[in-house]
Amino acid sequence: MMPNRRTFLAGALAAGASARGLAATSAGTATGPVQATWNSLVANYRYPEWFRDAKFGIWSHWGPQAVPEQGDWYGRFLYMQGHPMYEHHLKTYGHPADTGMMDIQNLWKADKWDPEALMQRFVKAGAKYFVSLACHHDNLDCFDSSHHAWNSMRVGPGRDVVGTWEKVARAAGLKFGVSNHASHAWHWYQPAYAYDPVGPRKGERYDAFGLTKADGVGKWWEGLDPQELYTGPHMVAPAGIDSIEAMDAWHEQHDGQWIETAPPDDEGFARQWLLRQMDLVSKYKPDFCYFDNYELPFGRYGLAAAADYYNRSIDWHGEIDVVMTAKQLQPHARFGLVQDVERGFSDHLWNEPWQTDTCIGDWFYNRSRFTEKSYVSAEAVLQRLADVVSKNGNLLLSIPQRGDGTIDFEEEKILDGLAEWMVTGGEAIFGSRPWHTYGEGPTELQVGMQNESGFNGFKEGDVRFTTKDGALFMLILVPPTKPLVVRSFGRRQMTGEISRVALVGGGPVHFRQSAEAAVFDLPYNAGPVPVLRIEGHGIV
């Protein structure tokens, strides 16, 4: 045990007391037919039609980690000597023993944020639901939190970010969602208690170590307890590590894993997480809630949060009309939540609705994406949208904002490209349902999460199918340079017969259908991801 140790709440409870603590916390949950068990979640949940119709959402994955404009996980990597973010922090803000993530959070001012103007862009780009980041691994609640003093009303912007987004999104006619990532803060922040293994300040612990509420007297954070932000030293690097490589290895082995359990000595963290989550959904009544977790956080605490949310939805709507997503669902969890596939692909048509979430750049704003023009293009976003929707899924797309709340010119161009396509192509997306097969083409997708970096792009011949109002739509992921042959439309493969084909937003398209395939002659100026509307007796 380290000296001056302080935990997120005062001490860990024995097993019996922990159970009583959960019961006390859960006393504030909404009552109703849904119980905090997987069987009850599965028995009561039904996928909302609004979600099945929506298909496309935009996500403001925005918080204080956008301030340095260095990309993802700044609040962890600034404490890891040798990492580029550590070097940036050292040069820009000072040594992490003196200036840490708590100070970066207070630099997040959002002083140029215009949520109404951004929402107008998002709506034009096709968004039917909008998601606000409510709390990331950096453990700052971006809302008017009743159970966590480190929140955006007290630190940084001095504004209720989630509440502002909620009002603006609903005024624009969108469904509103929140994302909660805070369950991982306790292990993610452990490097903040470490030290430089080499150099002039070797062995000097970083700012999280030993700071108490009393140390804030006369400072900007007076009245706040840093240990409530940094979560307490649950697995701290021991003294005596004398190389960067050894320190990195220590963190990788201990706190660097994706841990879904509560701190081993502090179940109070899980109870506090549940209070914050219930506060979030009761205040803003979100239609959608994203958990950055494999299944649900902290076992029974996550189940209590899900039951609370579903019962509240019954109070709000008379039925469960909300979506809660999580990742890597096992058979016992399927159909009780919506599965999310982060930055990944599917190679098959799903029976149930699902979602993939991805970003045009890094999750948090990275200026190099702008300077190097390395954002994902509008065309690539549309290809992903078509692929996911054809497989009964939705696409949630993050558009990174700077710390001041703005987006850059390259991002604006991407949104404009989406908006232009949606005017006509949206007919094949919104309110659509899958055909009996999702599509065809030469590209073989690798199933899994976070595997986009190995994807080399779609190829000519990749097509995807959707249906709506008795029509069959074909979304052509790469405009063809020669007549397009589609074997799924051969008379031997499909029922019915094609009678009419038109380019959505254009005119008739010449086609010929044989027993083996259908061949389409598209104009060469059809634009990115052209869409054909295909009609005929019995084809849908």
Supply the DSSP string of 270-308, one letter for each residue.
HHHHHHHHHHHHHHH--SEEEEEEESSTTTHHHHHHHHH
Residue 344 near residue 448, CB atoms below 8 Å? yes
Q: Of 342, 359, 385, which residue sits at a domain end? A: 342
Contact between 225 and 212 under an 8 Å Cβ cutoff? The reply is yes
Candidates 443, 342, 442; CA nearest to 393 is: 342
Contact status, residue 447 vs residue 412, Cβ threshold 8 Å? no
Determine, yes or no, domain membership for 395: no
Question: Looking at the chain, how many residues does it have?
Answer: 540
Q: Is residue 417 part of a domain?
A: no
pLDDT grade for 539, boundaries at 50, 70 and 90 = very high
- Indicate whether 69 belongs to any domain: yes
Parallel, antiparallel or unpaired: strands 175-180 and 510-513: unpaired
Would 354 be classed as within a structural domain?
no
Does residue 466 sit in the same domain as residue 322? no
Give the range of the structural domain holding residue 108, as residue numbers without chain letter: 15-342
Does residue 406 register a pLDDT over 60? yes
Q: For residue range 192-244, what is the model confidence (pLDDT) as tens digits?
A: 999 999 999 999 999 999 899 999 999 999 999 999 999 999 999 999 999 99
pTM greater than 0.75: yes
Local confidence band at 27 (pLDDT 50, 70, 90 cut-offs): low
| Within a domain: 7 | no
C-beta separation of 301 from 274 below 8 A:
yes
Task: Give domain status of residue 384, yes or no.
Answer: no
Residue-level pLDDT at 22: 56
> Residue 17: pLDDT above 70?
no
pLDDT at position 28: 77
Residue 412 reports pLDDT greater than 60 = yes
| Range of weakest confidence among 9-13, 51-55, 72-76, 111-115 | 9-13
pLDDT surpassing 50 at residue 8: no
pLDDT at residue 430 tops 60 = yes
- pLDDT exceeds cutoff 70 at 3: no
**Per the domain annotation, does 321 fall within a domain?**
yes
Over the chain, what is the mean pLDDT? 94
- Total structural domains within the chain: 2
Which domain-ending residue is among 342, 368, 399? Answer: 342
In a domain, 363, yes or no: no
The tens digit of pLDDT for each residue in 470-506 reads: 999 999 999 999 999 999 999 999 988 999 999 999 9
Tell me the Cα Rg of the chain: 25
pLDDT of residue 342: 98
> Which residue's entry shows tokens 């069987």?
39
**Same domain membership, residue 247 and residue 119:** yes
pLDDT of residue 29: 85
pLDDT digits (tens, 9 = 90+) for 29-81: 889 999 999 999 999 999 999 999 999 999 999 999 999 999 999 999 999 99
Q: Is the pLDDT of residue 138 over 90?
A: yes
pLDDT one-digit tens code per residue, 120-137: 999 999 999 999 999 999
Residues 187, 302, single domain; the answer is: yes
Domain identity same for 456 and 335: no
Write down which residue in 342, 373, 405 finishes a domain: 342
Other CB atoms within 10 Å distance of the CB of residue 71: 21
Cβ density class 395-414: b for 16+ within 10 Å, e for less: bbbbbbbbbebbbbebbeeb
If asked whether residues 338 and 448 sit together in one domain, one would say no
Average pLDDT over residues 174-185: 98
Mean pLDDT over residues 387-412, rounded?
98
Residues 309 and 168 in one domain: yes
Same domain, 333 and 445: no
Model confidence at 23, pLDDT cuts 50, 70, 90, reads low
Burial of 153 (0-12, 13-18, 19+ CB in 10 A): middle
CATH code, 471: 2.60.40.1180
Residue 168 neighbours by CB under 8 Å, 6+ apart: 115, 116, 119
Q: How far apart are CA 339 and CA 359, in angstroms?
A: 18
- What number is the average pLDDT over the span 437-452? 95
| CATH classification of the domain holding 319 | 3.20.20.80
Residues 78, 187 within the same domain: yes
Mean pLDDT in residue range 390-411: 98
